[in-house]
Structure 1
Amino acid sequence: MTVLVFGSANADLVFAVPNLPLPGETVLGEGVRSFPGGKGANQAVAAARDGAMVAFAGCVGRDGFAAVATGALREAGVDLSRLVVVDQPTGCAAICVDHAGRNQIAVAPGANLAARSAQVEDAALHPGVVLLLQMEVPAAEIAALVARAKARGARVVLNLAPPGELPAETLRALDLLVVNEHEAAVLAARLGCAADAAGLRAALRTDVAVTRGEAGAEAATAAGLVAVPAFPVTPVDTTGAGDCWCGVLVAALDRGLPLAAAMRRAAAAAAIACTRPGAAAAMPEAAETEALLATR
């Protein structure tokens, strides 16, 4: 095990709609499909399909949605020995996707709120492990796991999505913080700094990467700024793109790639994910990402 993901696993119900509903508006859809999802599971699948050895710690319920939520994890060969079945219902997301590939998402966390940092034993948190976290499980458990992981020498990456609150000392303990433009703006407002990678790094004193969709991504580190363009594609469904970026980034860092190269690989994989429906189901295999990288 080299990549350990602590996070959420959901069943995603994806509705194809001509346009995203406005407040109070009902839009008749063109179909509905179920996919495995949840930011934690999505990122674990992305990392595994990119070639990393991955373990996942989280919770699902005893209902029929549990098999949907864990299906892609099992297919990708992710170690699920730290997955716990609880009495709460499996997390579920309702996702509307319009003709332009834009999405609108509502999530019922369910069993994800039962996830506990104790599911990850101390022995799993060592210098050879990259720990990847998101914000769809309890913040207190994330903070506790970050503290334990840093004390034992693990490399810690947090995707602050959705943009929940964590203690400043938790954010400063990270090796890398990943946010999108919206999450960067929310965090910057709390910190009273500029909503870009450089501003956030100056405020937190930890490395920060900001993803900007089709505008690419930027990172601020002690060595300076890194900017990586996006790979242009015609999107079908952007639901899992950010999760794909994070999972592949961590897989690349785990293999020893420098941050700029890891970000470029993540951008290529995320572009491929945008051309497919679903979240975890859309994550590319390493060979597909390498083929796109070879074109530019």
Structure 2
Amino acid sequence: MSIARPLRSVLYIPGSKSRALDKARGLPVDAIIFDLEDAVSVDEKEAARAALAQALSDGGYGARMRIVRINALDTSWGAQDAQAARDMGADAILLPKVSSTADLDALAAITGEARLWAMMETPLGMLNAAAIAAHPMLDGMVMGTNDLAKELQTRFRPDRLPLQTSLGLCLLAAKAHGLAIIDGVYNAFKDDAGLEAECAQGRDMGFDGKTLIHPAQVDVANAAFSPSEADIDLARRQIAAFEEIEASGQGVAVVDGRIVENLHIVTARETLAKADAIAEMEKG
């Protein structure tokens, strides 16, 4: 898949909350994970499935990517969730706790041609990340950092040092296979400074965006994962300098005292394409 589609902000919405499902239609998010798993209590599972199907049928979510997170297939709700999600017309179905390609095979056996995403949140999933990323039906990975931290028995640190190996393995796997990859949630939804720092870390590592647990986090994530005006200006100047040297056939392109090579032009054009895609989404 092309990952030029903006995925800066990916908000979890409980499938059981009709008010939240309606409010999401007006939020400036790039993608929504309609959740049938953790955000839905046991006694609401059946009703949530029906409510979500109705909400997606009603539409109104515009250009936002629509992802349905089902319950794991080894639960009593998973298979029915998968069957229902297959028919909801969402852009992708997100499977929790993917530990091997067999998990995705089992889901694909139910969902057919539907595109899949994988929650990466188990130690075995980290060790199998490369094989999981190569699955033919997979388009994206989402880091489940809360569950992963629990499984690894780590302590919280602002620098996320205990999670760096896991984050890196999944990033390598996703980039090797051209998948979208979204960073985990930041739990303190009123701590904008902490969220900004973690978004900046994720952006610098190579994540496409951040999963969010509250609408108050959207603006921070959108800003962090958007090219800045300085980024856009530099990209344009790099392209102009490189094209001028190419046309003349003489010398080496230099911008701000740094040599500009073809690899920098590839990045520059990707920056401008992302900025254009964001502008187009926000216009719609």
Give the TM-score normalised by structure 1: 0.37
Please state which structure has a larger fraction of its residues in helix.
2
TM-score, length of structure 2 as denominator length: 0.38
Structure with more strand by fraction: 1
